[in-house]
Amino acid sequence: KVLPGPRQKFRAFAFAAMTQQVHPVAPCESSPNAKMKEKAAQIRKSFQRPKFWVMGFGWCLAACAGAANVIAFKSWNLYASHVTGSTSAMAFRLEGYHQGEYGSESLKEASLLVFSFLCGAYACGLLIDKNQVHFMGKAFYGLALILNSSLLVVAAFIPGRLLPVCLVAAACGLQNAMCTSHFGAIIRTTHLTGTVTDIGSTLGRISMIYLRKGCRCSKLNDVERAEVGVDARKLAVLFGLWSFYFMGGLFGVYMENIIPGPPQRALLLPATFTGSVGLFYMACRQILKDYIKKLERERFEADLKEAHDVLAHMGNRLQDLERNDQSVVELDEEMGHMIEALHEVE
């Protein structure tokens, strides 16, 4: 949606440049090297690391969730964001209830924790109807963050055991649903089972690629280098989520011992962060929208200029090819650069 004029102009220019020189280019396009470069470009396109401010925001939310979960366990001996464990507890408590080993209270706790998490995610779906981070749309990100903060504040002061931990679970469900997927990377900020699974599988893929090549980088071809690069960018996102969740939990434990009053008062710390970000977003939404549009426009113009330069250089190489058949190898490399630039702009 940014600069539709130059985009259409670029597509027309690229089409003309490729169709006018179809006979000289055809042999190079069918070469194995060109096919490998094109496949490598498609692999790189399959995943793009989120912008740093998006990653930073997701990591901070993971730290808040880690702190809230630890504080909930310290205060009420219940984990707020462990839906898998709560679901298993439902089955376990149900069997114990039928055998007369447990009362209905423990079964109600596990059921309400799962239901509260579900309600929080449901509320997020009502407020944010996109499955991708899109701050320039009409989604109520600020309202969702303020609602998350409000749930934590109420949980910090309300008496009892089951109700406050259910409020924390609802806040975790709301937060977890805010960041679902971004540029192909699944981002969950309140639990780490999937994150650690992805880290392990990604490390295994990278290790197998290097083992097949005798652990020597020089033997990697273009496709393998692209696969390693994509997996390395995924690891940066995933390991950051794990690290910030861990540091948030550690921070929550220490703050729970420092802050006077009941342990749940420490929930005010993550509540302060999410509430502040929500208020800032609602107050400065239009400024942020214009700033993000400017960044996207500058990035697109830079990609467009690079693609124009590559195509122009390609035209010169095609002219040289008519006079010198020895430049076929160099032309093949230029074709790879052109294909990669076209994928980036697209």
Average pLDDT along the chain: 79
Asked if 102 and 96 count as a contact pair (C-beta separation under 8 A), the reply is yes
Mean pLDDT of 72-99: 87
Predicted confidence (pLDDT) at residue 268 exceeds the cutoff of 90: yes
SS3 letters for the chain? CCCHHHHHHHHHHHHHHHHHCHHHHHHHHCCHHHHHHHHHHHHHHHCCCCCHHHHHHHHHHHHHHHHHHHHHHHHHCCCCCCHHHHHHHHHHHHHHHHCCCCCHHHHHHHHHHHHHHHHHHHHHHHHCCCCECCCCCCCCHHHHHHHHHHHHHHHHHCCCCHHHHHHHHHHHHHHHHHCCEECCEECCCCCCHHHHHHHHHHHHHHHHHHHHCCCCHHHCCHHHHHHHHHHHHHHHHHHHHHHHHHHHHHHHHHHHHHCCCCHHHHHHHHHHHHHHHHHHHHHCHHHHHHHHHHHHHHHHHHHHHHHHHHHHHHHHHHHHHHHCHHHHHHHHHHHHHHHHHHHHHC
Could you report the per-residue pLDDT of 286-315, keeping only the tens digit for each? Answer: 787 788 788 888 888 887 787 777 777 776
Residue 3's pLDDT is: 44
The whole-number average pLDDT for the span 227-233 is 87
Confidence class for position 6, pLDDT limits 50, 70, 90: very low
Mean pLDDT of 22-32: 48
Residue percentage of the chain with pLDDT more than 70: 74
Q: What pLDDT, in 10s, does the model give residues 181-217?
A: 443 445 778 888 888 998 999 999 999 988 888 888 8
Q: What is the pLDDT of residue 29?
A: 45
* Local confidence band at 20 (pLDDT 50, 70, 90 cut-offs): very low
Percent of the chain with pLDDT over 90: 28
How do residues 243-259 score in pLDDT, each as one tens digit?
999 999 999 999 988 88
pTM value is 0.70
